[in-house]
Amino acid sequence: MEPDTQNGGGMAKLGIWLVVLLLIIGGIVVYGKRGEDTKKASVKEPIKIGFIGPLTGDLANIGANTKAAVEIGVDDINSAGGIGGRTLEVVYEDSQCTPAKSTSAANKLISVDKVAAILGDTCSSATLAIAPIVEQAKVPLISYASTAAKVSDAGDFIFRTVPSDVLQSSFAAKYAVEKLAKKKVAIIFVNNDWGLGLSKGFSEAFKAGGGEAVFSEGIDATSKDARSLLSKIKAIKADILYLLVMPGQAEIVIKQAQELSLKISIFGADPLEDMTVWNNAGKAGEGVMFTTIGTSPSDDFKAKMKAKVGSDEIIYSGPFAYDGLKILGKVIGEVGTDGTAIKDALYKVSYEGGVSSPKIEFDQNGDPKEAGYAIKIVKNGKPVVVK
């Protein structure tokens, strides 16, 4: 009997088609699984935020103290589940508070690390230098310490949790006239945006209060000798010196004032919060007063900072950086990582329960709507709040 080749051929073709169909279905399943795995891997990738600050140099103590506060914020966010189920990662860059290094740091964070937002910088001149970069890249930036008035007009993507010097200078001048009863002020300011802006604001407010600015001169940030300026001030008999310089330079000026027997009250601003100034100034620092930006750290935050830095020192920039990070975490959790969406949400955010201010909301310039200040005086080598 001859085989049924026609039927056998049909069966063979059917078998081939079944194999092909199975391969197609298998491919779809594998492809779908790969797509799902890729999606899961993407979701699990950490959200990156950049940090720029002085981690080395004269202001390294401020940078280290601030970095510790940010690290606490990262731990708090990640231990609570992260942001939308994704962990938060902060990429730290050292700027030494210089415009050139800050610019390099910003470019790296944006182009290489692909951060969603940036915290930084400390010094106003550095923040103003990177403002055009983040503005063009549409990467929101929150400064935790830059107080120069110019920052208010730096761009639509530029915010700060710390208040403008317009407020600090007015507060300081009013205190000097009304509480300290000073009438003639001499001003030494560092030649940068911060120093120029604060000296101008103080001088105007001091005059408005009935005082007189009898001397005002700038000093280069790298100068280690202020004797000629101090000698001029001694000759004109001012009754208060408004000293606007950074740690590393501040203690030098304070010690030189003592060496020249300059019998004058010294009054400074928020950078004098740094304990390295008073550790280096020694007895020459006794009685020096300065304004500081008021913060309200919780007992839990204080304990975590002490564990991080090994002391009770909390420089104001730390709490403002911590709250800046928490604000970014809150906003990114709501709108995602698109820069424009983050920026738009920041103008609408209302953040309460922080460790810097009871409530943070930003005005149309990206500045906080509320501000609080305190006066400190150095006693036994440590700044304490004047009640």
pLDDT digits (tens, 9 = 90+) for 32-56: 444 444 344 445 899 999 999 999 9
In this structure, the answer to whether residues 238 and 334 fall within a common structural domain is no
In this structure, the answer to whether residues 109 and 145 fall within a common structural domain is yes
pLDDT at 268: 98
Is 72 part of a structural domain of the chain? yes
Is residue 219 exposed (0-12), middle (13-18) or buried (19+ Cβ within 10 Å)? buried
Is 200 part of a structural domain of the chain? yes
In this structure, the answer to whether residues 125 and 180 fall within a common structural domain is no
- 229 Cβ partners below 8 Å, 6+ apart? 188, 217, 219
In this structure, the answer to whether residues 150 and 171 fall within a common structural domain is no
Is 108 part of a structural domain of the chain? yes
- Integer Cα distance of 269 and 159 in angstroms: 21
pTM of the model: 0.83
In this structure, the answer to whether residues 315 and 177 fall within a common structural domain is no
pLDDT above 90 covers a percentage of the chain that reads 87
In this structure, the answer to whether residues 247 and 380 fall within a common structural domain is yes
Question: Which tokens sit at 229?
Answer: 């300026």
Is 86 part of a structural domain of the chain? yes
In this structure, the answer to whether residues 274 and 381 fall within a common structural domain is yes
In this structure, the answer to whether residues 180 and 97 fall within a common structural domain is no
State the total domains in the chain.
Answer: 2
Q: Which of 32-41, 65-74, 125-134, 306-315 has the lowest mean pLDDT?
A: 32-41
Q: Which residue, among 73, 66, 67, 65, has the nearest Cα to 311 in the 3D structure?
A: 65
In this structure, the answer to whether residues 201 and 308 fall within a common structural domain is no
Is 55 part of a structural domain of the chain? yes
pLDDT at 188: 98
Is 114 part of a structural domain of the chain? yes
Is 281 part of a structural domain of the chain? yes
What confidence tens digit (pLDDT) does each residue in 66-98 have?
999 999 999 999 999 999 999 999 999 999 999
Which domain CATH number covers 254? 3.40.50.2300
Is 115 part of a structural domain of the chain? yes
Domain span at residue 115?
47-164+295-372
Which residue's structure tokens are 């509320």? 370
In this structure, the answer to whether residues 303 and 283 fall within a common structural domain is no
In this structure, the answer to whether residues 379 and 257 fall within a common structural domain is yes
Q: Is the pLDDT of residue 276 over 80?
A: yes
- Integer Cα distance of 240 and 213 in angstroms: 10
In this structure, the answer to whether residues 185 and 310 fall within a common structural domain is no
Q: Is the pLDDT of residue 5 over 80?
A: no
